[in-house]
Amino acid sequence: MNLAKLLLAAAVLAPIPSVSLAQQSVNGTVTTIDRPSETIVIERTQDGTVGAGGGGATEQQFKAPEGVLDTVHPGDEVTFSAQQIDGNKTITKIEPR
């Protein structure tokens, strides 16, 4: 019985670190807004120094909840958080910088 309780506790607590990491704020620049598909493309700002082995900035596409696409425009620098929802990377919070 104790083993079952331990396994249940581990199963409940295991996703917590990944959820908190998903909620970290990231900086980037809005490159594309596609209203018909309700998506936004953001180029993440490179962290640290860029050297010979640096990969540069990366662009990612996100689903955007209703109303988010009206708060930012292409070229805007933003701070945002995203989370995996129903198999899609989805903006959970976005603010112009």
Residue ranges of domains in the chain: 25-96
CA distances from 45 to 22, 28, 49, 79 (A): 17, 5, 11, 10
Q: What is the pLDDT of residues 7-22, one digit of tens each?
A: 555 555 554 444 434 5
Neighbouring-strand partners of residue 96: 78
- Structure pTM? 0.68
Q: Which fold has domain 25-96?
A: OB fold (Dihydrolipoamide Acetyltransferase, E2P) (2.40.50)
pLDDT mean over 14-40: 77
59 is written with which tokens? 């662009």
What pLDDT, on a 0 to 100 scale, did the predictor assign at position 20? 39
Instruction: Count the Cβ atoms, other than its own, within 10 Å of residue 3.
Output: 7
Neighbouring-strand partners of residue 91: 82
Residue with tokens 């603010």: 95
Q: What is the pLDDT of residues 37-71, one digit of tens each?
A: 999 999 998 766 655 555 567 899 999 988 889 99
Rounded Cα–Cα distance for residues 87 and 47 (Å): 26
